[in-house]
């Protein structure tokens, strides 16, 4: 009998049961996979609608999380799909917000409300913001974030910084904008780009019209002369310009039109590829003005800026990523003055390379290298004057930093080096003045600096004054100056103006900082004291009084010294009831005492600005700033006051002894309105007469009002912004161009789009 190939019922049951046991665990995974949810969206500021980067996103009780990118975008994969599950959005400067998965599925866009006081876990205060300034000893620091200027129509950095109550901006006919701080001179302010010095070696000042704002993240304004890291020239302070690392766009275009037939257009590109990021920015523009006395003669300014950056993250560490970054910038300025027969051709080049990360045997280090190049040629032609002046400078700089943080201590050691070579030509013909001064020369300066900073951070045990910092810093400088191939206009005077000079000086500074916090109240108090040394610039040395007195040839200028003390405090209060959200008050008193202060001397009949030393001078001052926040920081009312007492006006010519600013800022639903009032005190300068006496020249005090109105909005993934800026509205009369062009009325309309 043949056996049947058909399975019996019992055999079928066994097979079915076995299959069920095998498939059941696999089938149990199908619902979970089906319930996996991916949510995405954008996090924005509740008032301005601007995207927020670095917002932390967490799901309590899980390890799931993420953060927003530069464009405020996020994407999360949630495995269980529980519609009641909570997702928390948290940023240091904003109130945290918790939403359910169901809420985010309806709309992934999230808006956060700004905080008056940052989260307690940070140490951001009015005097010690995070950034380059935090590496030095405590001083008064003001930070201007990109959200405060990005769509407000400011032409350049000089145009923006005039809104700061401790800064004075002087604009020349050529469009160059020089800043001074706390009543000091422009060559006493160091300008850094991401920690790399921009100031030239010849005059030691920097033209801030060369910095356009499209790729800048923030300005750190360090006030006072007690900085240790940034060199001996910072007698008044430091301005550190921090570029953006990431952008919320791939391509951005903007166009600005305004007074004097001005037109500026710009293009910015950005792209990130994993750990690598690259950016490029182009800005081109100019203006044409007529003189009131000769309308047919024109004054024309044009400029072209190119900048770019490349960065690469060598590690994925969130706290201390190893990174390599390259920045480069070129800026050209062309100026033609038909009335006075004057032209200026100015070319600036800058490149900086930075590395921060682990190095063999040395551990974690920060290494910086930079290049500065200047090509400046000026001509002046009239019936009896012919001037051809040229300054060509090439300079290199570098530094290496090492930090060591054992326990409550924080030590920083740095070696800094810079070297510059200059060729100066100043050919003058058919002058009625005395033939005095240098026709041509070659100059060199080498500068070595050693820095040591020690910080002690401790807890007080008090329920209010919770922490303190005690900081001590030392600096040793070695400077060598040299002059070769000197040709004077009057060869009978001497073969040279200054001999080779070698200087060496030590600096000591210390500071104490005390922080208090209780509920929604924050207090920061600090005291700093130190001495500083400033070496005469090469320009000052080749224009010394020795040109008029052959017996003084070779003596040169003495170094200038300064002793400075400053006391400051900031108080911030957050309120959760009513229309007022909080307030903030900052104030400081400082006193600078100078020995051998450099002084400029202008004498009729001599076509030079000479320099000598004043035995002693002093500037003391009071600065205060107060802000009041309304309706969750939708409205900010802010006032700034500065008053300076200058003992020797001839050493600080044409510097205002007071400034007052008043600002009302409204941000709502992407609309922004700023009304800005400012008043500067009179400016006094001294003109030396041939008999050696001085006559006083005064520029009157000045006050006016600016208005900025802007709108930022989205259409799909494309973002648009438009701004109208009205400057100096109270000035109803035509203003004769006199070299203070910031005092005339101007109008600007700016529109842009980004994707």
Predicted local distance difference test score (pLDDT) of residue 734: 45
Q: What is the average pLDDT value for the chain, to the nearest integer?
A: 84
Backbone φ and ψ of 451, nearest 5°? -130, 135
> What is the spatial distance between Cα 142 and Cα 561, in angstroms, rounded to a whole number?
26
202 neighbors 422 (Cβ within 8 angstroms): yes
How many residues are listed for the chain in this entry?
Answer: 755
pLDDT confidence of residue 170 = 85
Among 279-283, 461-465, 657-661, the least confident range:
461-465
- Predicted confidence band at 2 (pLDDT cuts at 50, 70, 90)? very low
**Residue-level pLDDT at 462:** 82
Domain ranges in the chain are 9-112, 238-754
How many C-beta atoms surround the C-beta of residue 182 within 10 A? 25
Q: Which of 15-29, 82-96, 368-382 has the lowest mean pLDDT?
A: 15-29
Measured distance CA(380)–CA(174) in Å, rounded:
13
Kindly indicate the confidence band of residue 653, based on its pLDDT and cuts at 50, 70 and 90: confident
Q: Is the pLDDT of residue 270 over 90?
A: yes
Any idea which residue has 């922490």 for tokens?
A: 467
What is the rounded distance in angstroms from the CA atom of residue 424 to the CA atom of residue 300?
A: 26
700 vs 378: which has the higher pLDDT = 378
Give the list of residues 6+ apart from residue 295 with CB closer than 8 angstroms, or none: none
Question: Cα–Cα distance between 514 and 503 in angstroms, integer?
Answer: 37
The upper half-sphere exposure of residue 34, i.e. CA atoms within 13 Å in the direction of its Cβ, equals 5
Span 272-284, average pLDDT: 93
For the domain made up of 9-112, give the CATH fold: Immunoglobulin-like (2.60.40)
Residue with tokens 């994707």: 755
Strand 501-518 and strand 438-459: the pairing is unpaired
Least confident residue range of 323-327, 423-427, 647-651: 647-651
Q: Is the pLDDT of residue 549 over 70?
A: no
pLDDT (tens digit per residue) in 598-622: 888 776 656 667 788 888 999 999 9
For residue 558, pLDDT over 50 is answered with yes
Between the alpha carbon of residue 193 and those of residues 160, 372, 565, the distances in Å are 16, 12, 27
Q: How sure is the predictor about 725, in pLDDT bands with cuts at 50, 70 and 90? A: very high
Please answer whether residues 399 and 388 qualify as being in contact, where contact means their C-beta atoms are separated by less than 8 angstroms.
Answer: no
Half-sphere exposure of 713 (CA within 13 A, CB side): 9
Percent of the chain surpassing pLDDT 70: 85
Q: Provide the pLDDT for residue 681.
A: 87
For 572, the 3-state DSSP assignment is strand
Q: What is the mean pLDDT of residues 446-470?
A: 89
C-alpha distances in Å from residue 623, one per residue of 290, 525, 636: 39, 15, 20
Is the pLDDT confidence value at 27 over 50? Answer: no
CATH fold of the domain at 238-754: Maltoporin; Chain A (2.40.170)
Three-state secondary structure along 318-387? CCCCCEEEEEEEEEEEEEEECCCCEEEEEEEEEEEEEEEEEECCCEEEEEEEEEEEEEEEEEEECCCCEE
Q: What integer pLDDT is reported at residue 501 of this predicted model?
A: 87
SS (H, E, C) 511-545: EEEEEEEECCEEEEEEEEEEEEEECCCHHHHCCCH
CB 451 within 8 A of CB 416: yes
């Amino acid at each position: 009998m043949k056996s049947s190939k058909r399975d019996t019922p019992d055999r079928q049951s066994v097979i079915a049961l076995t299959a069920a046991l095998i498939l059941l665990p696999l089938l149990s995974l199908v619902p979970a996979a089906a319930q996996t949810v991916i949510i995405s969206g954008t996090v924005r500021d509740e008032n301005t609608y601007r995207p927020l980067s670095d917002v932390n996103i967490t799901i309590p009780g899980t390890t799931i999380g993420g953060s927003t990118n530069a464009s405020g975008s996020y994407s999360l994969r949630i495995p269980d799909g529980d519609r009641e599950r909570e997702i928390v959005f948290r940023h240091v400067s904003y109130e945290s917000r918790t939403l359910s998965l169901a809420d985010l599925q309806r709309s992934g866009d999230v808006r956060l409300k700004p905080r008056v006081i940052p989260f307690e876990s940070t140490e951001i205060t009015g005097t010690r913001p995070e950034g380059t300034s935090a590496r030095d000893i405590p001083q008064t620091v003001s930070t201007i974030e990109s959200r405060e200027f990005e769509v407000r129509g400011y032409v350049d950095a000089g145009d923006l910084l005039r809104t700061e109550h401790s800064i004075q901006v002087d604009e020349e006919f050529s469009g160059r904008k020089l800043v001074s701080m706390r009543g000091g001179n422009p060559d006493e302010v160091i300008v850094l780009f991401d920690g790399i010095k921009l100031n030239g070696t010849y005059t030691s000042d920097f033209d801030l019209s060369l910095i356009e704002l499209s790729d800048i993240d923030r300005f750190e304004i360090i006030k006072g002369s007690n900085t240790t890291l940034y060199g001996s020239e910072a007698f008044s302070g430091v301005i550190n310009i921090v570029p953006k690392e990431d952008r919320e766009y791939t391509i951005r275009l903007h166009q600005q039109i305004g007074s004097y037939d001005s037109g500026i257009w710009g293009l910015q590109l950005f792209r990130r590829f994993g750990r690598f990021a690259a950016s490029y920015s182009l800005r081109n523009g100019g203006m044409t003005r007529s003189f009131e006395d000769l309308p047919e003669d024109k004054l024309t300014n044009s400029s072209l800026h190119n900048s770019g950056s490349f960065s690469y993250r060598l590690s994925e560490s969130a706290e201390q990523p190893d990174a390599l970054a390259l920045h480069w910038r070129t800026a050209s300025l062309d100026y033609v003055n038909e009335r006075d027969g004057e032209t200026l051709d100015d070319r600036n080049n800058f490149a900086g390379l930075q590395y921060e990360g682990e190095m063999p045997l040395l551990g974690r280090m920060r290494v910086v290298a930079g290049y500065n190049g200047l090509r400046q040629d000026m001509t002046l032609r009239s019936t009896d004057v012919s001037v051809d002046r040229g300054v060509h400078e090439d300079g290199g700089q570098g530094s290496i930093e090492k930090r060591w943080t054992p326990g409550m201590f924080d030590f920083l050691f740095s070696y800094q080096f810079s070297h510059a070579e200059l060729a100066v030509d100043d050919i003058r013909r058919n002058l009625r003045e005395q033939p005095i001064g240098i026709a041509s020369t070659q100059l060199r300066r080498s500068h070595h600096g050693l820095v040591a900073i020690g910080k002690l951070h401790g807890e007080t045990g008090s329920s209010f004054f919770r922490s303190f910092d005690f900081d001590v810093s030392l600096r040793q400088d070695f400077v060598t100056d040299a002059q070769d191939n000197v040709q004077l206009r009057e060869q009978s005077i001497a073969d040279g103006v200054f001999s080779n000079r070698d200087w060496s000086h030590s600096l000591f500074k210390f500071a104490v900082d005390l922080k208090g916090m209780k509920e929604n109240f924050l207090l920061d108090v600090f005291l700093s004291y130190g001495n500083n040394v400033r070496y005469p610039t090469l320009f000052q040395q080749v224009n010394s009084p020795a040109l008029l007195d052959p017996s003084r040839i070779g003596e040169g200028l003495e170094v200038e010294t300064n002793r400075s003390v400053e006391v400051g405090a900031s108080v911030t209060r957050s309120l959760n009831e009513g229309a007022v959200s909080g307030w903030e008050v900052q104030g400081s008193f400082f006193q600078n005492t100078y020995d051998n202060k450099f002084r400029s001397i202008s004498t009729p009949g001599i076509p030079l600005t000479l320099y000598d030393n004043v035995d002693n001078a002093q500037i003391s001052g009071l600065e205060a700033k107060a802000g009041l926040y309304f309706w969750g920081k939708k409205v900010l009312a802010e006032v700034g006051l500065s008053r300076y007492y200058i003992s020797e006006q001839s050493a600080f010519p044409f510097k205002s002894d007071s400034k007052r600013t008043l600002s009302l800022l409204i941000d709502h639903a992407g609309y922004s309105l700023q009304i800005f009032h400012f008043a500067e005190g009179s400016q006094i300068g001294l003109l030396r007469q041939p008999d050696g006496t001085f006559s006083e020249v005064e520029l009157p005090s000045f006050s006016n009002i600016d208005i900025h109105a802007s709108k930022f909005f989205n259409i799909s993934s494309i973002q648009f912004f438009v701004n109208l800026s009205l400057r100096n509205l109270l000035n109803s009369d035509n203003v004769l161009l006199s070299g203070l062009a910031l005092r005339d009325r101007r109008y600007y309309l700016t529109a842009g789009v980004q994707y």
